[in-house]
Structure 1
Amino acid sequence: MTRRRPVRPASADDLLTELGRLTAQALERAELQQARVELAEALQRELLPGALPELPGLRPAARYAPARHGLDIGGDWYDGFRLPDGSLAFSVGDVQGHDVEAAAFMGQVRVGLRAVAGAVTDPGEVLGRANDLLLSMDCTLFATCTFLRYDPVTGELAAARAGHVPAIWATADGRFGTAEDEGGLPLGLLPGEVYPVTRRRLPVAGAFVLLTDGVVEGPSFPIEAGLKQVTRVLRAEVAAGIGTGRPMDPGELAAEIIKVADLTGHADDAAVLVLCHDTPPARGGGR
């Protein structure tokens, strides 16, 4: 018969040693998590543009807000750049996931859109080619996106959507709305996807706002309520601008709209891109 040795009760020193070991592990994990957060934030800052292009009559501005908790950073972006034909291109998007990988993929999407837009002018074709490019890279993530092209000669704004949140607009004559344009699937899901294009003229002063779902949707805040709140803010700011008689400041407008994300308690990062447009000068033959 085998006799077992009695289990020695843990002493105070044993308990303190185990507590120290667990504390060290927890600190190591916390430091690793913090390092990943800081890396994602650094990537986000470096990948977002430092300035946006503008033209007479069109003034853009953007704002970005990181998520409130954890590593929910890195997926949202905004961008703006000049095209070879003299028009301007703008994009806003949201990458699946919220970590360092999402931030890196966001950079790939932005570079891909810029590269394609330099060769084709139609926003739908830009998204289609960018979609196929991402799929050829065997990417495991996907991205929603809205891509715009502004033609300063015609005053036309052409837009295509890839599964993204609709834009919101308001004009100085009191009109406003949500741009529920037809769109296609997010980028990186299905080869050969087609992205319809919606074309608008901007004959009256106002603002056109692109955003990500982190601005208008939260854990207990439905996206419809968020879109209505952004619309209220936009209409109030446009009306205030009319009252002062000065052109709207896109930076101030973007700063007010990004505050809506605080109301939603957003668990996602958030981006806003505002295009303030003036009434264009009359041309021969009218508009």
Structure 2
Amino acid sequence: MSRRRPTRPSSADELLTELGRLTAQALERAELQQARVELAEALQRELLPAELPGIPGLHAAARYAPARHGLSIGGDWYDGFRLPDGALAFSLGDVQGHDVEAAAFMGQVRVGLRAVAATATDPGEVLSRANDLLLSLDTRLFATCSFLRFDPVTRELAHARAGHVPPVWATEDGAWGLCEDEGGLPLGVLAGERYPVTRRRLTGTGAFVLVTDGVIEGPAFPIEAGLAEVAKVVLAGAAADPAELAARVLAVADLTGHTDDAAVLVLRHTE
């Protein structure tokens, strides 16, 4: 059976009419997509905290940047809040997808983590409970995430991660490293998942930095190379103002040519 070819315009006037119709359709689609992008970006920024908590000896700063291309907006977040027992909690993560649905799901993850953290002191338990909570929502999305709890009395920083890239740490005396301890699956993938916890005591002056993969990975830039660049920046700025260091780390995304949105969370500790 032969296929019927579309009818072609037979005159200049018909050709101009057809071009006008196609142009109008293209503009309508572009305007609709731009509206979705602007809505996702506005929703993202409204859901992010206006400020982060801090105490003497620990100060936090964060930065967020939308992707270079408008389709990739809506999934990354950072958060920080005080817990009932006086500890501080921080989270940073990345939701699958880059649209309004991803931005809305990001808000659900943030709220879920806050709600669970109010009754669970162990970061691994927080992620485990939040994971089961998100699965109960029957969503198609999932999220990678790091969750931290800082005890101001013991100065212990407890950290658990769900499928997320490892944090980078450095101290003023030149020591540095990646926290590549075992983690668990992303949130929203498998019920009953458990998340190991890494504990370290923050001494001296230094920085503990979390990033999303939009900072360290690009079309031709592997994650390992991005993490190495972040490590250089953190090591050089371990004693810098946390907001300044966060901006420097976010600038690594300019090297990777990131197509994803990007977020950075810096915890700077002093004696």
Do they superpose with TM above 0.5?
Answer: yes
Structure 1 gaps of 5+ residues are 1-6, 242-247, 280-287
Q: CA deviation at 1:262?
A: 0.5
What CA distance in whole angstroms lies between the structure 1 residues aligned with 2:178 and 2:128?
Answer: 24
What CA distance in whole angstroms lies between the structure 1 residues aligned with 2:241 and 2:45?
Answer: 23
RMSD: 1.2
Computing the radius of gyration from Cα coordinates, the structure with the larger value is 1
What CA distance in whole angstroms lies between the structure 2 residues aligned with 1:16 and 1:213?
Answer: 46
Query: Residue 219 of structure 2 corresponds to which residue in structure 1?
Result: 219
Q: Deviations over 1:112-147 (max 9, x none)?
A: 000000111110000000000001110110000000
* Equivalent position SS for 2:170: strand
The one-letter code sitting in structure 2 at the alignment partner of 1:265 is: G
The one-letter code sitting in structure 1 at the alignment partner of 2:230 is: V
Query: Residue 243 of structure 2 corresponds to which residue in structure 1?
Result: 251
TM-score, normalised relative to structure 2 = 0.96
Contact 2:134–2:187 under 8 Å retained in 1: yes
Say if 2:260 is the partner of 1:268.
yes
Query: Residue 115 of structure 1 corresponds to which residue in structure 2?
Result: 115
What CA distance in whole angstroms lies between the structure 2 residues aligned with 1:128 and 1:44?
Answer: 25
What CA distance in whole angstroms lies between the structure 1 residues aligned with 2:149 and 2:35?
Answer: 38
* Equivalent position SS for 1:36: helix
Contact 2:9–2:18 under 8 Å retained in 1: no
Percent identity reads 78
What CA distance in whole angstroms lies between the structure 1 residues aligned with 2:9 and 2:88?
Answer: 74
What CA distance in whole angstroms lies between the structure 2 residues aligned with 1:70 and 1:49?
Answer: 22
Q: Deviations over 1:86-107 (max 9, x none)?
A: 0000000000011111000000
What CA distance in whole angstroms lies between the structure 2 residues aligned with 1:91 and 1:45?
Answer: 16
Q: CA deviation at 1:8?
A: 10
Structure 2 gaps of 5+ residues are 1-6
What CA distance in whole angstroms lies between the structure 1 residues aligned with 2:181 and 2:214?
Answer: 20
What CA distance in whole angstroms lies between the structure 1 residues aligned with 2:56 and 2:9?
Answer: 81
Q: CA deviation at 1:9?
A: 6.9
Q: Deviations over 1:246-270 (max 9, x none)?
A: xx31000000000000000001110
Contact 1:161–1:181 under 8 Å retained in 2: no
TM-score, normalised relative to structure 1 = 0.91
Moved over 3 A (4+): none
Contact 2:62–2:265 under 8 Å retained in 1: yes
